[in-house]
Amino acid sequence: MRIVFGISGGIAAYKIPQVIRRLVQRGHEVEVVMTQAATQIVSPFLLQTLSKKPVWVKDFDVRRPLAHIELGDWCDVMVVAPATANTVAKFAGGLADNLLTATFLACDKRKVIFPAMNVKMYENPLTRRNIEILRSVGCEVYEPEVGELACGYKGRGRLPDEEVILGVVDRDPLKPLEGLRVVVTTGATIEPVDPVRYLSNFSSGKMGIALAKRLYALGAEVLLVAGKTDMPLPAYIPSQQVRTTEDMLLTLQQVMARYDVLLMAAAPADFRVSRLSEEKIKRSGTLSLDLVANPDILATLHQNYPTKRLIGFSLEMKGGEAYAKEKMVKKGLDAIVLNMVSPDFHPMGSDENEVTIYTASGEEWRLARLPKHLVAEKVIAYLFLGERE
Based on CB atoms, which residue is closest to ligand CTP, 7 or 340?
340
Smallest gap from Cβ 290 to ligand CTP, in A, equals 18
* H or E, element range at 328: helix 320-330
> Residue of minimal CB distance from ligand CTP?
297
Applying CB under 6 A, among 268, 335, 355, 365 the residue interacting with ligand CTP is 268
Size of the site for ligand CTP (CB under 6 A): 14
Applying CB under 6 A, among 23, 315, 328, 375 the residue interacting with ligand CTP is 315
Question: What 3-state DSSP class applies to 139?
Answer: coil
Applying CB under 6 A, among 86, 200, 244, 314 the residue interacting with ligand CTP is 314
Based on CB atoms, which residue is closest to ligand CTP, 88 or 315?
315
Stretch in the footprint of ligand CTP (CB under 6 A) among 82-90, 146-154, 265-273, 368-376 = 265-273
Applying CB under 6 A, among 29, 161, 172, 296 the residue interacting with ligand CTP is 296
DSSP character at residue 116: -
d(C-alpha 185, C-alpha 226), whole Å: 6
Nearest to 103 by CA among 24, 11, 39, 32: 32
- Does 259 sit near ligand CTP (CB under 6 A)? no
Applying CB under 6 A, among 298, 375, 376, 380 the residue interacting with ligand CTP is 298
Q: Give me the half-sphere count of Cα atoms (radius 13 Å) on the Cβ side of residue 208.
A: 36
Which residues, 228 to 247, sit near ligand CTP by CB under 6 A? 245
Smallest gap from Cβ 288 to ligand CTP, in A, equals 21
Give 277's contacts (C-beta < 8 A, 6+ positions apart).
193, 194, 195
Stretch in the footprint of ligand CTP (CB under 6 A) among 85-93, 163-171, 309-317, 345-353 = 309-317
Applying CB under 6 A, among 70, 194, 270, 321 the residue interacting with ligand CTP is 270
E-strand ranges in 2-153 read: 2-7, 29-34, 55-56, 77-83, 110-115, 140-141, 145-148
Helices 16-25 and 44-51 cross at an angle (nearest 10°) of 10
- Does 184 sit near ligand CTP (CB under 6 A)? no
**Among this protein's residues, is 151 annotated catalytic?**
yes
Smallest gap from Cβ 237 to ligand CTP, in A, equals 19
Which residues, 67 to 86, sit near ligand CTP by CB under 6 A? none
Q: Do 40 and 9 meet the contact criterion of CB atoms below 8 Å apart?
A: yes
- Does 140 sit near ligand CTP (CB under 6 A)? no
- Does 203 sit near ligand CTP (CB under 6 A)? no
Smallest gap from Cβ 310 to ligand CTP, in A, equals 9
- Does 297 sit near ligand CTP (CB under 6 A)? yes
Smallest gap from Cβ 224 to ligand CTP, in A, equals 14
As a whole number of Å, the end-to-end CA separation of the chain is 24
d(C-alpha 22, C-alpha 143), whole Å: 22
Based on CB atoms, which residue is closest to ligand CTP, 107 or 183?
183
Nearest to 80 by CA among 23, 172, 13, 147: 13
Q: Do 182 and 264 meet the contact criterion of CB atoms below 8 Å apart?
A: no
Give 190's contacts (C-beta < 8 A, 6+ positions apart).
198, 199, 200, 227, 228, 243, 244, 269
Q: Do 5 and 30 meet the contact criterion of CB atoms below 8 Å apart?
A: yes
Which residues, 319 to 378, sit near ligand CTP by CB under 6 A? 327
Stretch in the footprint of ligand CTP (CB under 6 A) among 38-46, 159-167, 223-231, 291-299 = 291-299
Type of residue found at 179: G
Catalytic residue, from 75, 107, 139, 151: name it.
151
Q: Pseudo-torsion of CA 39, 42, 44, 46, nearest 10°?
A: 170
Spell out a b/e string for 216-254, using b for 16 or more CB atoms within 10 Å of the CB, else e: bbbbbbbbbbbbbbeeebbbbbebbebbbbbbbbebbee
- The alpha carbon of residue 226 and the mean position of all alpha carbons in its chain are separated, in whole angstroms, by 12
Based on CB atoms, which residue is closest to ligand CTP, 118 or 294?
294
Stretch in the footprint of ligand CTP (CB under 6 A) among 21-29, 146-154, 214-222, 294-302 = 294-302
What residues are labeled active site? 151
**Which positions touch ligand CTP (CB under 6 A)?**
245, 264, 266, 268, 270, 294, 296-298, 312-315, 327
